[in-house]
Amino acid sequence: MSADIEKLAKIVYDAQINATAISQLSETESFTLEEAYRVQAKSIDMRLDAGEHRVGMKMGFTSRAKMIQMGVDDMIWGRLTNSMLVEDGGEIDFSKYVHPRVEPEIAYLLKSDLEGPVSTMEAWNAVEAIAPAMEIIDSRYENFKFTVEDVVADNSSSSGFVIGQWCFPEIDISNLGMVMEFDGRAVQIGSSAAILGHPARSLATASRMVAEDGEKLSAGDIVMAGGATAAEALYEGVSVRNSVEDLGFCGFGVSK
């Protein structure tokens, strides 16, 4: 029997909007990965109907460190809306999250559409600008425990993102040092090379994966390349910064 997409989408939508922890959908429902992406699309449609706007997408599980941390071996993707954007230098309200974590990333701003399978060079040629970034992931599942189908249905845990100053894409981004700090103390150190060997590969993969769902990346979209390291749990009062060699930094604080 096929999954009730509408019912599952409403469950994750409610959990996302109200920041409440839910049991894994897979404990009571049987659904495929393809159905999980339909649940994700439907739940985001509910958010768009409620007034949010689509601004781009995120890639997930793009580094070995993330795959090992979460016990998976494939990439996933999710959708970004305007309400998820956290102002660089701003503050998030801890009570609006279930159990948020943060990971250091690089973001792309596209100047032209990308549709279907493309080479890394074609993907790179579609980039208007790049920026240091961070993703706030907040699985709505109790204890951050899920199957790949569960997490995809829950928008691949995406909950917030921070973008630093946009830079021209002339910079070689293949192996940039990245340091994420909590209150000035390094908590994750990595390299952009950890993102699929070269972060531009993540953009090409994004184009291919969204096409499998009948979507494309459009000029003006923001694409989060994926975490370069494992994610760190956020807590009240902490001040977070991600510095990326040659690109600069971005940061935010968490309310007390």
The DSSP 8-state label assigned to residue 114 in this structure reads: B
Query: Left, alpha or beta for 34 (phi > 0: left; psi -120 to 50: alpha)?
Result: alpha
Instruction: Report the 10 Å Cβ neighbour count for 87.
Output: 11
CA dist., res. 20 & res. 98, Å (int): 6
Q: Does 66 participate in binding ligand 0L1 (rule CB under 6 A)? A: yes
Report the Cα 125 to chain-centroid distance in Å. 22
State the minimum distance, in angstroms, from the CB of residue 237 to Mg ion.
Answer: 23
- Determine which helix (DSSP H) or strand (DSSP E) holds 113, and give its type and residue range: none
One residue of 31, 37, 61, 77 binding ligand 0L1 per CB under 6 A: 61
Task: Name the phi and psi angles at 33, rounded to 5.
Answer: -65, -40
66 binds, among ligand 0L1, Mg ion, none (CB under 5 to 8 A by kind): ligand 0L1
Position among 35, 135, 150, 221 found at the interface with ligand 0L1 (CB under 6 A)? 135
Judged by beta carbon, residue 40 or residue 243, the one nearer ligand 0L1 is 40
CA dist., res. 243 & res. 133, Å (int): 9
- Which CB, 65 or 179, lies closer to ligand 0L1? 65
70 contact choice in ligand 0L1, Mg ion, none (CB below 5 to 8 Å, kind-dependent): ligand 0L1
Residues that bind Mg ion (CB under 5 A): 135, 227
Sites of contact with ligand 0L1 (CB under 6 A) = 60-61, 66, 70, 135, 137, 139, 151, 156-157, 226-227, 231
